[in-house]
Chain A
Amino acid sequence: DTAVSQTPKYLVTQMGNDKSIKCEQNLGHDTMYWYKQDSKKFLKIMFSYNNKELIINETVPNRFSPKSPDKAHLNLHINSLELGDSAVYFCASSQEPVTYEQYFGPGTRLTVT
């Protein structure tokens, strides 16, 4: 019974394509996140989102856009993929009011060729 799930687990695509990664949480949490783990293994926040507010890390290119159809889902759309987008992307969720323990999905390894 997975708490935070992501699909697909692996994604290989060519430069210039548009792709989406899906995330779902069954924890009843109010806030969801996307993180990027780059080749140097640093985990960096990309977005924080609940049904009230989207907080964007300013360093994230606008080719990346989160889409939340409902509280349990936060999908990540990436347009015009570039080689530098290759990374592992993690979705996470947490409960409001603000608590700091975030629950992570298993990650999606994106490879752009």
Chain B
Amino acid sequence: DQQVKQNSPSLSVQEGRISILNCDYTNSMFDYFLWYKKYPAEGPTFLISISSIKDKNEDGRFTVFLNKSAKHLSLHIVPSQPGDSAVYFCAASDNNAGNMLTFGGGTRLMVKP
């Protein structure tokens, strides 16, 4: 039973345009959400996070939006750059269940020059 889902396995975007990666979750106990970026043959690296008490968090070109009522979050990258090409994982955590992350299946983003 997947509690965190990324329904788009891949996304292709032109350089300079906006990339929007989506994530849905089912566990209403999740109170913290993160996005990780992963290059081939490397471990995931933390990108940006958001607490459930917020609906938006911005860091440079990256913005995460959280819609708690819809149990949906999204990552916006603008403008997209070729170096952003990677697999992006959405993850969620329930503070009451320890510091364990539940990951989505990932979305492969390809930014074309």
Contact = CB atoms under 8 A, between A and B. Distances in A.
Contact of B103 (A4, A44, A48, A107): A44
Interface in A21-35: 31, 33, 35
Contacts, number: 61
Interface in A66-113: 90, 92, 94, 96, 98-107
Interface string B82-94: 0000010101010
The contact size tier of chain B is: 20 to 34
B59 interface: no
A43 B44 contact: yes
B28 interface: no
Interface residues of A, number: 27
Contacts of A40: 105
Interface of A: 4, 31, 33, 35, 40-45, 48, 55, 57, 90, 92, 94, 96, 98-107
